[in-house]
Amino acid sequence: MAKKTRTEAKKLTKVFWVDRLKKIGALAVIAIIYIWSARGVGFNLLEIFRELPSFFSLLGEMIPPNWAYSRRLINPLVETIQIAILGTFFGAILTIPLTLLAANNITRNKYIYFFAKGFMNIFRTIPELLYAAILVAGIGLGAFSGMLAITIFSIVVIAKLTSESLEAISYGPLEALQAVGGNKLEMIKYAVVPQILPAYTSYSLYVFEINIRVSTVLGLVGAGGIGVPLQTSLNLFRYQNASMIILVTFILVMAIDYASTKLREVLV
Amino acid sequence: MKINWQLFKRVVNLLVILGVIIWSLEGMNINWERISRGIPSIGNIIKLMFPPDMSYFSRSLSAMMESIQIAVIGTTIAAVLAFPISFLSAAKIGVPFWVVFLAKQILNAIRTFPELILGIFFVASYGPGPLAGVMAIGINSIGMLGKLNSEIVETIDRGPIEALEASGSNRAEVFLYAIFPQVLPQFLATALYRFELNLRAATVLGLVGAGGIGVILLQSLQFRRWPIVGMSLLIIIVVVTIIDYSSAYIRKRIT
């Protein structure tokens, strides 16, 4: 009995020390990452505080916004909305085949499934604005490049979210249809689509909200929308015009979020 | 005659969507000719990027490392600054309601402000370089971290708080022993999640001069050096994937 207790105790001490070593090791790794990062970016609290006044004086130059400028913002604002709408729309349609291929209960072929998932994950690592910058360099300046960038991003993100919901559908309705002799098309129409449609719609709306935010800054890389006058105002140091644009952008984003929430209630 | 309302609603929805799409197509002057020219040029761009310029491997990689560093420091600054706000903007823990309201509005305002514009301001005041990127990410991420963290605070288990209060502990002790240990792992998890997003942001911020791999991308795009663009994208894809997986693994472990 005593011997057993002693080995038990030894085991516990060992567990204790291994646990403690693991913790120390993790802390050491974290410390190294921080030292490496702080050095790399030239982190310096003194400098940060020294330059803060110039940051705030820059913000101060933006007040008050140039109200008269708002009249010239209507066209770029409309373009911003149109870029986001078309990008999301084309994305939401073109995503359907990718979504089906990337769901393991629809695509039985392992290779196609992994290829689709991999494709999705690879393209998801690249931010929308990089797509926009690349397309601007390759196709040319303008809203069309911005729309294509948003389309590519929407395809990948909606496919990722929807394919995960698709993989989690319940099989009851499918089996019921099969039992009464439904064919594959009927099974998809009556058992799969009704289950997946709410998720698909709601993810598309969610991506639309992201896309509105992105399309307000697309102009900074030359891809159209309200970011174009913003870029010009900043380059010419017309900070009061810039703040007017930012204000309008705020209102747009909030209005679209509100509209999207309402739309979700109606559609989903 | 009985009207099929369900069908009617559906048709109306569809017509509205169709109308909005046509309006957008008209407004942006998009026609089949542009689309049929645009799509092949995407393929062409990809072709131009191959083979990636291997001689740029080490320069692109070290620029990507700078993006990681920007994201690490930026996220940490945001997490530290968001910490007090997380409690101030949490309802149901004894903070006066007008403070909660005010803090929530400030967080919302920060959240809608695009990172890239903040980046431009910091580049203008701090000069081009990674520090401007750090500040842009550090300030911008407060919005989301504060919001998610305050939601975590609002859902904590009240048992330990009541137990400590009943045994006569003061507010500092209640915070230190009943609230803090409950929220810490989840705060860390949200910070890690935000770090994943910030890494992507840090690759873009270079487009406005705020350091990281975006700087290399900007230069090579300006001079249409496509193989260098390809090399940089390849590095972004590999590094972001590795970090996403490790971060998700750590998040699963700590919560």
SS3 (DSSP) at B171: helix
Q: For residue B50, what are the contacts with CB-CB under 8 A and spacing of at least 6?
A: B227, B230
* Residues B240 and B200: beta-carbon distance below 8 Å: yes
Q: Say if CB B187 and CB B152 are below 8 A apart.
A: yes
Three-state DSSP string of A148-197? HHHHHHHHHHHHHHHHHHHHCCCCHHHHHHHHCCCCHHHHHHHHHHHHHH
Dihedral angle at the C-alpha atoms of B32, B35, B36, B40, nearest 10 degrees?
180
Q: Choose from A32, A35, A41 for mutation: most chain B CBs within 10 A.
A: A41
Q: What is the ipTM of this complex?
A: 0.86
Q: Which residues of A touch B120 (CB under 8 A)?
A: 220, 234
Handedness of CA A215, A217, A222, A227 (dihedral sign): positive
d(CA A264, CA B136): 32
pLDDT tens, residue by residue, B179-207: 888 899 999 999 999 999 999 999 999 99
Q: What angle do CA B130, B135, B137 make, to 5 degrees?
A: 95
For residue A56, the distance in angstroms to the closest alpha carbon of chain B comes to 9
What CATH architecture does domain A72-267 belong to? Answer: Orthogonal Bundle (1.10)
CB A221 within 8 A of CB A94: no
Host H or E run for residue B114: none
Contact in structure between B134 and B70 (CB atoms under 8 Å): yes
| Cβ contact A125–B121 (<8 Å) | no
Helix, strand, coil share (%) of chain A residues, nearest 5: 85, 0, 15
- Whether chain A has a CB inside 8 Å of the CB on B159: the answer is no
Cα separation, B236 vs B57, whole angstroms: 12
The ranges assigned to domains in chain A are: 72-267
Q: What dihedral angle (degrees, nearest 10) is formed by the CA atoms of B140, B146, B152, B156?
A: 160
- Residues A198, A268: contact at Cβ < 8 Å? yes
pLDDT tens per residue, chain A (268 residues)?
Answer: 567 788 888 888 888 888 889 889 989 999 999 999 999 888 888 888 888 888 888 888 888 888 888 888 999 999 999 999 999 999 999 999 999 899 888 788 889 999 999 999 999 999 999 999 999 998 888 889 999 999 999 999 999 999 989 888 888 888 888 888 888 788 888 888 888 888 999 999 999 999 999 999 999 998 989 999 999 998 898 889 999 999 999 899 889 988 888 888 877 6
State whether B207 and A147 contact (CB < 8 Å).
no
One-letter amino acid of A154: S
d(CA B200, CA B131): 16
Distance (Å) from the alpha carbon of B45 to chain A's nearest alpha carbon:
6
| Domain B55-254: which CATH number of 3.30.70.930, 1.10.3720.10, 1.10.3300.10, 3.60.15.10 | 1.10.3720.10
Tokens linked to A8: 């038990």
Give the pLDDT band of residue B29 (cuts 50, 70, 90): confident
Kindly report the pTM of this predicted structure.
0.87
| Neighbouring C-beta atoms of residue A10, cutoff 10 Å | 10
Residues contacting residue A231 through CB under 8 Å, at least 6 positions apart: A219, A220, A222
Q: Give residue limits of the domains in chain B.
A: 5-48, 55-254
Query: CB-based contact (8 Å) between B19 and chain A?
Result: no
- CA dihedral over A31, A32, A33, A36, signed as positive or negative: positive
**Ramachandran category for residue B156: left, alpha or beta (phi over 0 → left; psi -120 to 50 → alpha):** beta
CB B108 within 8 A of CB B143: yes
Q: How far is A1 from chain B (nearest CA, A)?
A: 37
Report pLDDT digits (tens) over B33-44. Answer: 777 877 888 888
Structure tokens at A94: 């073109």
Mean pLDDT of chain B: 89
**C-alpha–C-alpha distance, residues A239 and A233, integer Å:** 7
